[in-house]
Amino acid sequence: MGWVDSPTPNQSISGGLSAMGWALSEDRIGRVSVYLDGTYLTDCTLGAARPDVGKAYPGFPDSDKAGWGVHLDPASLPPGKHELVFEAATTKRATRDIGAIPITIVR
């Protein structure tokens, strides 16, 4: 399970794009990947402190460090309307989409 805190749906982005959220699994999260319109872009950095998630889900491994984040350069992304999808994968390679966020890249 997981959540995308930012970007927010239908956000117009003209500068840097920072995405962040959290992801949990009983099998531990091994990666969170970012896709733009179905094309893989990059993996996120894992392990950010999330005491709010740890408090809400204390039974999950590493729940207090469930945060992830990534910075994307919009200059490398085509202008227009797109969908960012964030996919979490466990250390046992099970995957699940944790967010599909419509955005608009503006130049």
Q: Quick check: bond before 74 cis, omega within 30?
A: no
Count of CB atoms situated within 10 Å of the CB of 33: 17
Per-residue pLDDT of the chain (107 residues; tens, 9 = 90+): 999 999 999 999 988 899 999 999 999 999 999 999 999 999 999 999 999 999 999 999 999 999 999 999 877 889 999 999 999 999 999 999 999 999 999 98
- Domain count within the chain: 1
Residue indicated by tokens 């893989």: 40
Could you give the CA distance from residue 57 to residue 52 in angstroms, rounded to a whole number? Answer: 9
Coil, helix or strand at residue 70: strand
CATH code at position 76: 2.60.40.650
Q: Which residues contact 61 (CB under 8 A, 6 or more apart)?
A: 25, 26, 28
Task: Determine the structural domain holding residue 20 and report its residue range.
Answer: 2-105
pTM recorded for the entire structure: 0.94
Q: What amino acid occupies position 47?
A: G
